[in-house]
Amino acid sequence: MVLTRARMAIGVDFGSDASAVYGEALDALNETDIRYMLGGAVALNAYTGIWRDTKDLDLFVPGESIPPVLETLEAAGFDTEITDACWLAKAWKGELFVDVIHGSHNGTGPVDESWFENAKEVRVLERDLYVIPAEEMILSKIFVVAKDRCDVDDVLHLIFATRGDLDWDRMLTKIGEHWELLLAYLHFYRYVYPSHTHYLPRKVLESLLDRYNEGTRPASDGLRFRGTMLDKDSFRVDVDEWGLPDERAATREARRPEEEPG
């Protein structure tokens, strides 16, 4: 991977054992022409300065890169598996592992070329690397709302730490029909940071509120239910007992024929 612009060194601390294993994975990939980006705790630190202990290293790649990534890591001594063909593979050595991610858990937000075009260059583990764009990080984290994990704080910290200096037009385009979820997070932000609401561009809020006001009538495209897009377990009762459609399952299935590795 060739990096040409100035890099920012970020303060991550995996510990010596994890740093050595993750370094082996990164070096193996860097000897190939496979392009990848780091996400998770590393990317969050790059944009906010926040660091928290993490159990893994998150690599983001397009779906078609999953097979060569796993082959490369296997050759470097890692055990690998496709954990969920819709979005996740893993490579591990001992108790340490790397998550190889190519989309969101619910079938939305596949990694594509635009992620690389807007990625941030950093220096981490004494290596020059990319982290995923803040915008795509926000759009993936807004769907993480489960009993055992909720990334609301990460989303709000990303907006606050960047002072709202984000490509909002790109986010509005990519969020598509899930714009109501983005609007909900902006309301959360306004509640948490009432002295810094100016970080949210007025045109973004006005655009989303206009859509909301135009869409208060019942949907005309049939029965829909999107609870499982956030958490398949918390909203399982709606599907299994109350007869509502599982939109998460349908969205994931639509992606499988095109992007299932192998």
Domain of residue 87, CATH code = 3.30.460.40
Count up the domains in the chain and report the number.
1
Half-sphere exposure of 50 (CA within 13 A, CB side): 17
Is residue 109 situated within a structural domain? yes
Is residue 217 situated within a structural domain? no
pLDDT grade for 172, boundaries at 50, 70 and 90: very high
Is residue 116 situated within a structural domain? yes
Strand ranges (DSSP E) for 17-119?
Answer: 37-38, 56-60, 79-84, 88-93, 96-101
134-143 pLDDT per residue, tens:
999 999 999 9
What pLDDT was estimated at residue 261? 44
Hey, CA dihedral for 182, 184, 188, 189, is it positive or negative? positive
Is residue 68 situated within a structural domain? yes
Strand ranges (DSSP E) for the chain?
Answer: 8-9, 37-38, 56-60, 79-84, 88-93, 96-101, 120-124, 127-131
* Mean pLDDT, residues 190-210: 96
What pLDDT was estimated at residue 254? 79
Is residue 222 situated within a structural domain? no
Half-sphere exposure of 43 (CA within 13 A, CB side): 26
pLDDT grade for 257, boundaries at 50, 70 and 90: very low
Is residue 27 situated within a structural domain? yes
* Mean pLDDT, residues 142-168: 95
Is residue 215 situated within a structural domain? no
Is residue 38 situated within a structural domain? yes
In sequence order, what are the residues at sequence separation of 6 or more whose Cβ sits closer than 8 angstroms to the Cβ of residue 125? Answer: 12, 14, 19, 22, 23, 26
The single residue listed with the structure tokens 């598996």 is: 81
Confidence check: pLDDT of 74 > 70 = yes
Domain that holds residue 58: 1-132
The token pair at 40 is: 């998770």
The pTM for the full model equals 0.87
Virtual torsion, Cα 164, 170, 172, 173, nearest 10 deg: 180
13-66 pLDDT per residue, tens:
788 889 999 999 999 999 999 999 999 999 999 999 998 878 889 999 999 999
- Angular region, 17: left φ>0, alpha ψ -120 to 50, beta rest: alpha
